[in-house]
Amino acid sequence: MELLAATTASLAVMMLAAYATLSLSRRPADQRLKVLVTDGVTIEQRSDRDAILRPGASSLAFLGHFLDRRGYAERWRLQLERADLAVRPGEYALIRCAFAIVGFIAPLLFVQGPLGVVIGVAIALGAFMAPAIWVGARGGSRIRKIERQLTETITLIANAQRAGFAFAQGVDVAADRMGPPVSTELARMMLDINMGSSTEDALAAMNRRIGSEDLDLLVTAILVQRQTGGNLTEVLDNVTEIMRDRDRIKGEIGTMTASQRMSAWVLSLWPAILGLVFFAINPHMMSLMWTTLPGIIMLIIWGALNMAGFLTMRRILNIDI
């Protein structure tokens, strides 16, 4: 068991060292090229040249090609881009694997035998998913920030249209006056247009890159108007009114379901609170829950059922508008 722990610890250290080396060896130009690349063309595709220019990059290139063949690279690249993280899919995979290995090692240092292996596997699975959960939460937070800025952004573009500006000029004005993250996305859209992309393609790329339902409504309305004609200012005003109505309805639904959402939290946390109370009353009896195999199995079953119930209640209360 000590040999297994030492081996896994060595692998974890090696993977973390490899990630640190690859991150530190990244040239500053990569950060500038990340903004200049067009949609669908990323720095990851320069891995063959990078393998020659810098040592150690061939392993990351191999991992990137493996993820491309499995279909993970494009999905992870989109998730990282929505979270505004300058991390490539190969590095992201290394981070998740390193988290899993460290999560597997930690219990083996305190619990010996098959019980330690079971606990290590459970913690390793959670540690492997932890970066994905954090990236998803960061990306969702960024999307919500963009959605809160969309109404003002559309108003600026519509006012620019009334003043006689073209659509691209209105977008440029909104990019200058709005703050991030929407200003960053608008500036990238204008960069795509200046680099030769059509307005329709730049709008579609921004919509695919952000993944917001409100933005999809806006982009769809603009694309339909550009194909069929009509008053773009009136279209933008109608989209703004629809978004404001949706925000009002979401606020009303949130108010009506507040007690149910609080009930979901109370029902999920109440067993854990009772467990802490019983541990304070009789620590020896409650310690059997994590020092014996039947107790650990019961804890795992409780955790799975508790999480399933919490997610089910959240899913029921998540009403789409």
Instruction: Identify whether the C-beta of residue 15 lies closer than 8 Å to the C-beta of residue 98.
Output: yes
* Predicted confidence band of residue 101 (pLDDT cuts 50, 70, 90): very high
pLDDT for res 68:
58
Judge if 162 and 185 occupy the same domain. Answer: yes
Q: Quick one: how far is CA 135 from the chain centroid?
A: 3
pLDDT at 100 over 50: yes
* Predicted confidence band of residue 292 (pLDDT cuts 50, 70, 90): confident
pLDDT at 28 over 50: no
Judge if 51 and 133 occupy the same domain. Answer: yes
* Predicted confidence band of residue 116 (pLDDT cuts 50, 70, 90): confident
Q: Give strand ranges (E) for 48-134.
A: none
Judge if 113 and 137 occupy the same domain. Answer: yes
pLDDT for res 65:
59
Judge if 305 and 243 occupy the same domain. Answer: no
* Predicted confidence band of residue 16 (pLDDT cuts 50, 70, 90): low
Judge if 209 and 94 occupy the same domain. Answer: no
10-49 burial, b for 16+ CB within 10 Å, e for fewer? eebeebbebbeebeeebeeeeeeeeeeeeeeebbbebbee
Judge if 243 and 279 occupy the same domain. Answer: no
Residues 6+ apart with CB under 8 A from 135: 79, 80, 83, 85, 92
Percent of the chain having pLDDT more than 70?
Answer: 78
Judge if 50 and 84 occupy the same domain. Answer: yes
Question: Does residue 243 sit within a domain?
Answer: yes
Instruction: Identify whether the C-beta of residue 127 lies closer than 8 Å to the C-beta of residue 103.
Output: yes
| Mean pLDDT across 66-82 | 75
pLDDT for res 279:
87
Q: What is the mean pLDDT of the chain?
A: 78
| Mean pLDDT across 203-228 | 87
Structural domain of 104: 2-141
Judge if 16 and 137 occupy the same domain. Answer: yes
Question: Does residue 252 sit within a domain?
Answer: no
pLDDT at 315 over 60: yes
Judge if 130 and 160 occupy the same domain. Answer: no
| Mean pLDDT across 15-32 | 45
Judge if 28 and 132 occupy the same domain. Answer: yes
Residue type at 203 in one-letter notation: L
Q: How many domains does the chain have?
A: 3
Question: Does residue 42 sit within a domain?
Answer: yes
Domain's final residue, options 227, 247, 267: 247
Give pTM, 2 decimals: 0.67
Rg from Cα positions in the chain: 25
